[in-house]
A and B are shown apart, each in its own frame.
Chain A
């Protein structure tokens, strides 16, 4: 399995998980010039912008560690762009991170970080 399809399958699993947790998926892989938001969802009235990280090993750190401050800032810019483009005015915005660690061909550990970070 290539890294690309691994990431794709991870995002599918994350989306399925978020829906099961009661959220409504609004958008997947929303793109603009500045980059991509993996999953956009609604949790009640809160707009949730979700970054999904999938890894096969922890050799280079856990998946969630990959969401560095630089990446957080980029997601922040993307969020502003999304809100403007979608023409919505959300009551509340939240940044979530879903980390998936694949441990066997048919087995993975999923962790959902609600409000994983705030911008500085």
Chain B
């Protein structure tokens, strides 16, 4: 007896349909799987056999051959357990095939017959939404809540034989849950300029590099950035959650609108940062899609790792080229870096002298490198706060108040209908800015004085546009241009921040 059950496998962030063909014929008892399956798929044999028996079904004493089509596509992961078991039950007459006809089945089986979740359920669900019903595990993260998807959650393999009437209707769309960040901007005393700058960065999704002596508060400020970021829009939620889902991470937070904030350690490998491995997995830049990638102690990252960030920062995506084709991961993120101005940390400090040997400062700054520094929109000098201010601490403006302003500024930006400020270019950018003649002269003067490249002017205008949005101004005027210039060129001489 033969049967076919539909399933899908993950490639990049996409689910690709796969047919599980199963043939039970007389012959020496055997159970084999063909069709470019990896080790995890081959191990399905043991899990399927145990689960079938534990669920009260019989495993045939016959020759069982499973073919995964299309043949040339590599299949990996444990999600094939459930479709193989269903195909086996259908082929041996233990399951009416109408129950699985037109359905996509995905899930890992436990030895006792319960169905487990696999990475990428959201991607499987997106594909199944086009083709029909999805049958999968009960615990499937955000997949079950996808709109317009008929989802049948299955606690155990045995529940398959119950009729289709137990289909669960798609749940109501996900409501945004208000998360309460434990770390609040109100805890930071002083640093008014830095807070304003982060507010501008949060509004436009600009890249920021904070430079300052150890203990000045760079990391503290960065950690409080998620608290002032606006929630994800509906489209952003899905694309960010999709990356989390295929990486095997919880997609509940992005689906409820929380912007991702990724802070990889500086020992991270290139593959860990930009994605890679076999099968290819998204890296930190993709997990930070539509959110913030925070690199603490930025010069300590390997030079190759840092330079690998350049392409995703320009394109908003990572393209991995493999022997069997290209895989794309989205990676539109705002880079926030923190660095000491020099190896000893005190260059430019008004009170403490820098003790670095000659040449060390230049080498330290060169680790980040010009091309990457050119992609930074804002340089912030974070100075140590006066001791008296730390001791007299009074709570400052709370994160939610700042966030409210950022949300309003983003709304103003979105009513222009030209797209996100951080990705505006050319005529769209000029149309968005509506520069006053005086502002235009200011840009020209700054461009000549600082030898700005075309990219430099573009980035300057984007920051100025965000400042104007925050201040509720329809046009970009001289003051906003000046503020943007200050963010880019205002830091003290000779430090990391002025390198470009």
- A-to-B contact residues, CB < 8 Å: 46, 76, 79-80, 90-95, 115, 118-120
- Interface stretch (choices B27-35, B234-242, B388-396): B27-35
Contact in complex: A94, B31 (CB < 8 Å): no
Contact in complex: A118, B29 (CB < 8 Å): yes
Which chain B residues lie closer than 8 Å to A91 at the CB level? Answer: 26
Which chain B residues lie closer than 8 Å to A46 at the CB level? Answer: 61
Rounded to whole angstroms, the CA-CA distance of A92 and B340 in the bound complex is 75
A-B contacts, 15 of them at CB < 8 A, read A46-B61, A76-B28, A79-B28, A91-B26, A92-B61, A93-B28, A93-B29, A93-B61, A94-B29, A94-B61, A115-B61, A119-B29, A120-B31, A120-B32, A120-B45
Determine if B249 is an interface residue (Cβ-Cβ < 8 Å). no
Determine if B99 is an interface residue (Cβ-Cβ < 8 Å). no
- In the assembled complex, how far is the CB of residue B322 from the closest CB belonging to chain A, in whole angstroms? 29
Contact in complex: B32, A95 (CB < 8 Å): no
Which chain B residues lie closer than 8 Å to A92 at the CB level? Answer: 26, 61-62
Which chain B residues lie closer than 8 Å to A80 at the CB level? Answer: 28
Q: Please list the 8 inter-chain residue pairs (A to B) with the smallest Cβ-Cβ separation, ordered nearest first.
A: A119-B30, A118-B29, A118-B31, A118-B30, A92-B61, A93-B28, A94-B61, A79-B28
Rounded to whole angstroms, the CA-CA distance of A115 and B45 in the bound complex is 15
Which chain B residues lie closer than 8 Å to A120 at the CB level? Answer: 30-32, 45
Interface size class of B (residues with CB under 8 A): 10 to 19
Main secondary structure of the interface of A (DSSP, over half): mixed
Q: Which of B26, B27, B29, B32 contacts A115 (CB 8 A)?
A: B29
Contact in complex: A93, B27 (CB < 8 Å): yes
Give the nearest-CB partner of A79 in chain B: B28
Rounded to whole angstroms, the CA-CA distance of A98 and B122 in the bound complex is 48
- In the assembled complex, how far is the CB of residue B485 from the closest CB belonging to chain A, in whole angstroms? 69
Which chain A residues lie closer than 8 Å to B31 at the CB level? Answer: 118-120
Which chain B residues lie closer than 8 Å to A94 at the CB level? Answer: 29, 61
Rounded to whole angstroms, the CA-CA distance of A119 and B65 in the bound complex is 11
- In the assembled complex, how far is the CB of residue B373 from the closest CB belonging to chain A, in whole angstroms? 57
- In the assembled complex, how far is the CB of residue B32 from the closest CB belonging to chain A, in whole angstroms? 6
Query: Can you add 13 more A-B contacts, CB < 8 Å, to A46-B61, A118-B64, A119-B32?
Result: A76-B30, A80-B28, A90-B26, A91-B26, A92-B62, A93-B28, A93-B61, A94-B29, A118-B30, A119-B30, A119-B31, A120-B31, A120-B45
Which chain A residues lie closer than 8 Å to B32 at the CB level? Answer: 119-120
Give the nearest-CB partner of B62 in chain A: A92
- In the assembled complex, how far is the CB of residue B26 from the closest CB belonging to chain A, in whole angstroms? 7
- In the assembled complex, how far is the CB of residue A71 from the closest CB belonging to chain B, in whole angstroms? 15
A119-B28 in contact given A46-B61, A92-B62, A93-B61 (Cβ < 8 Å): yes
Looking at B30, B31, B32, B64, which has the most chain A CB atoms within 10 Å of its CB?
B30
What mask results when residues 137 to 168 of chain B are scored 1 for a CB within 8 Å of chain A, else 0?
Answer: 00000000000000000000000000000000
Give the nearest-CB partner of A80 in chain B: B28
Looking at A46, A92, A115, which has the most chain B CB atoms within 10 Å of its CB?
A92
Considering only residues 206-264 of chain B, those with a C-beta below 8 Å from chain A are: none
- In the assembled complex, how far is the CB of residue A66 from the closest CB belonging to chain B, in whole angstroms? 20
Rounded to whole angstroms, the CA-CA distance of A95 and B27 in the bound complex is 12
Rounded to whole angstroms, the CA-CA distance of A46 and B26 in the bound complex is 11
Which chain B residues lie closer than 8 Å to A119 at the CB level? Answer: 28-32
- In the assembled complex, how far is the CB of residue B407 from the closest CB belonging to chain A, in whole angstroms? 59
Give the nearest-CB partner of A47 in chain B: B28
Rounded to whole angstroms, the CA-CA distance of A115 and B28 in the bound complex is 11
Which chain B residues lie closer than 8 Å to A118 at the CB level? Answer: 29-31, 64
Give the nearest-CB partner of B27 in chain A: A93
Considering only residues 7-32 of chain B, those with a C-beta below 8 Å from chain A are: 26-32
- In the assembled complex, how far is the CB of residue B50 from the closest CB belonging to chain A, in whole angstroms? 13
Which chain A residues lie closer than 8 Å to B26 at the CB level? Answer: 90-92
Rounded to whole angstroms, the CA-CA distance of A112 and B61 in the bound complex is 17
Rounded to whole angstroms, the CA-CA distance of A46 and B60 in the bound complex is 12
A95-B45 in contact given A46-B61, A115-B61 (Cβ < 8 Å): no
Give the nearest-CB partner of A120 in chain B: B32
Which chain B residues lie closer than 8 Å to A79 at the CB level? Answer: 28
Rounded to whole angstroms, the CA-CA distance of A95 and B31 in the bound complex is 13
Rounded to whole angstroms, the CA-CA distance of A28 and B64 in the bound complex is 29
- In the assembled complex, how far is the CB of residue B30 from the closest CB belonging to chain A, in whole angstroms? 4
- In the assembled complex, how far is the CB of residue A87 from the closest CB belonging to chain B, in whole angstroms? 16
Give the nearest-CB partner of A92 in chain B: B61
Considering only residues 45-91 of chain B, those with a C-beta below 8 Å from chain A are: 45, 61-62, 64
Rounded to whole angstroms, the CA-CA distance of A72 and B333 in the bound complex is 55
Give the nearest-CB partner of A91 in chain B: B26
Rounded to whole angstroms, the CA-CA distance of A80 and B62 in the bound complex is 14
Which chain B residues lie closer than 8 Å to A115 at the CB level? Answer: 29, 61
Rounded to whole angstroms, the CA-CA distance of A23 and B61 in the bound complex is 17
Rounded to whole angstroms, the CA-CA distance of A92 and B61 in the bound complex is 7
Rounded to whole angstroms, the CA-CA distance of A93 and B61 in the bound complex is 7
Rounded to whole angstroms, the CA-CA distance of A76 and B45 in the bound complex is 18
Give the nearest-CB partner of A95 in chain B: B29
Which chain A residues lie closer than 8 Å to B45 at the CB level? Answer: 120
- In the assembled complex, how far is the CB of residue B67 from the closest CB belonging to chain A, in whole angstroms? 15
Give the nearest-CB partner of A118 in chain B: B29
Looking at B28, B45, B62, which has the most chain A CB atoms within 10 Å of its CB?
B28
Rounded to whole angstroms, the CA-CA distance of A91 and B62 in the bound complex is 9
- In the assembled complex, how far is the CB of residue A61 from the closest CB belonging to chain B, in whole angstroms? 20
Rounded to whole angstroms, the CA-CA distance of A115 and B61 in the bound complex is 8
Rounded to whole angstroms, the CA-CA distance of A46 and B28 in the bound complex is 11
- In the assembled complex, how far is the CB of residue B41 from the closest CB belonging to chain A, in whole angstroms? 13
